[in-house]
Amino acid sequence: MYEKITPPTTGDRVTFVNGHPIVPDHPIIPFIRGDGTGIDLWPATQKVLDSAIAIAYGGKRQVSWFKVYAGDEACEQYGTYQYLPEDTLTAIREFGIAIKGPLTTPIGGGIRSLNVALRQIHDLYTCVRPCRYYVGTPSPHKTPEKLDVIIYRENTEDIYLGIEWRQGSEIGDKLIKFLNEELIPATPEHKNKQIPLDAGIGIKPISKTGSQRLVRRAILHALRLPPEKQQVTLVHKGNIMKYTEGAFRDWGYELATTEFRAECVTERESWILGNKEQNPDLTIAENARLIDPGYDSLTPEKQELISQEVQEVLDTIWESHGHGAWKTKIMVNDRIADSIFQQIQTRPDEYSILATMNLNGDYLSDAAAAIVGGLGMGPGANIGDTCAIFEATHGTAPKHAGLDRVNPGSLILSGVMMLEYMGWQEAADLVKKGVSGAIANKEVTYDLARLMEPPVPALKCSEFADAIIRHFGS
């Protein structure tokens, strides 16, 4: 089955049933060390994870690590340009759960992003990026502790699908000509728009299937959260891109109000129900006027549509969601993408789970990570229905490779996400306690040490891992 690697002789496969992992007590888990600083990050991470598992389960549970290759290290083993060998893809597919350090991504040409390729090959359609604050972590924000969000980013569609053509290419020119001369003139709403002849061009596909399976996972996650955090916000730019990002919003609401009708309420539905609870004698038109401040300036046809919306909500869910019952449901709302960038800074405690598309999610997850201490403390997971890969969210920082100085926090916390995904919560809690204790005690690597007031002596990467383990009992 494999050309250059051999799985461990002890341990078992992780299997999946209806998208959920069935994890044995001794799973075999492939790991990719990663490029650049991966040579420092992975040993520190493995030491922390193994220690937590040993303490939590006393030998009853244990991971058999399976070294596989990607990136520059793969080229050393498999030959030039063999950045993602079939051995690695087979191992991840076979054993179900994997973890990886950072991988090099050339800019402006060459190989496609290895991270994107892994997500697309294994259909890891959900990127999960929790952003929470660990007390003592330096942050440019006055109240970073108020931000505690989980970003659900669609991983396989949008412009990241990579269907694009270079400016001046034969196919690109042909497509522009076809759009300018055939499709755009045939679409009245586009009027006299034209694509510049010297443009590069890309395709932005957003599908109903891709959107709804992402939102489904976000809602299922919300069901596991404390009541005060049970909220899913659909983040989009649908005011401009109506048939892609606007459709994402609409399909998200559709899923919430059909498949999860008993568990969810939309923000507009909550307004309608709340208005009737405050004034049982409120007419349909009066309720419509309250949920849409511009109601009186609308045409009669649009006023009628809003009134019909109010009537339908009261007819269909008043019995199940009215009389205050909606307050116990998952709140599903939506926000424009540029607005949410402001609101996670100015009103961070109003949000919990943010579900969005690929490009928005890429920007938003890094921005949120900056608030709570940067990418060095930002974990990530890529999850599909038959496998999952957990990963550091930062770059390879090759100039620091082998110096034992970089922060392993991102990869360690990605390991925490992996343990939680496996159902090994006791071990995950130990690591989180250790990270919190080390940072609170100002035992940190140089990136955090230099920002503390006053600055503190920096630990090495390996020493930070040891500090985390020491604070398991904090």
Per DSSP, the chain holds a count of helices (H) and strands (E) of 16, 15
Q: How far apart are CA 219 and CA 208, in angstroms?
A: 16
404 is catalytic: no
Give the closest residue to 283 by CA, choosing from 309, 311, 302.
311
* Alpha carbon 408 to chain centroid, angstroms: 20
Q: How far apart are CA 379 and CA 252, in angstroms?
A: 25
CB of 288 closer than 8 Å to CB of 295:
yes
Only one residue has tokens 């991270």, namely 115
CB of 380 closer than 8 Å to CB of 414:
yes
User: Of 177, 338, 349, 363, which one is the catalytic site residue?
Assistant: 338
Half-sphere exposure of 189 (CA within 13 A, CB side): 3
Give the closest residue to 233 by CA, choosing from 152, 325, 130.
152
User: What is the gyration radius of the CA atoms in the chain, in angstroms?
Assistant: 25
User: Of 69, 78, 160, 253, which one is the catalytic site residue?
Assistant: 160
CB of 92 closer than 8 Å to CB of 386:
no
CB of 87 closer than 8 Å to CB of 54:
no
User: Of 158, 362, 447, 466, which one is the catalytic site residue?
Assistant: 362
363 is catalytic: no
The neighbouring-strand residues paired with 355 are 152, 234
237 is catalytic: yes
Q: Where do the H-state alpha helices sit in 240-357?
A: 245-256, 267-278, 284-291, 300-321, 337-346
Give the closest residue to 396 by CA, choosing from 102, 26, 188.
102
User: Of 237, 276, 329, 432, which one is the catalytic site residue?
Assistant: 237
| Cis, bond preceding 8 (omega within 30 deg of 0) | no
160 is catalytic: yes
Q: How far apart are CA 255 and CA 282, in angstroms?
A: 29
Strand ranges in 80-187 using DSSP code E only, listed in sequence order? 97-100, 126-132, 148-154, 164-165
Q: Is 414 helix (H, G, I), strand (E, B) or coil?
A: helix
Q: How far apart are CA 233 and CA 364, in angstroms?
A: 13
What single string gives the DSSP state of each residue in 359-384?
HHHHHHHHHHHHHTT-GGG-EEEEE-
Residues with catalytic annotation? Answer: 160, 237, 338, 362
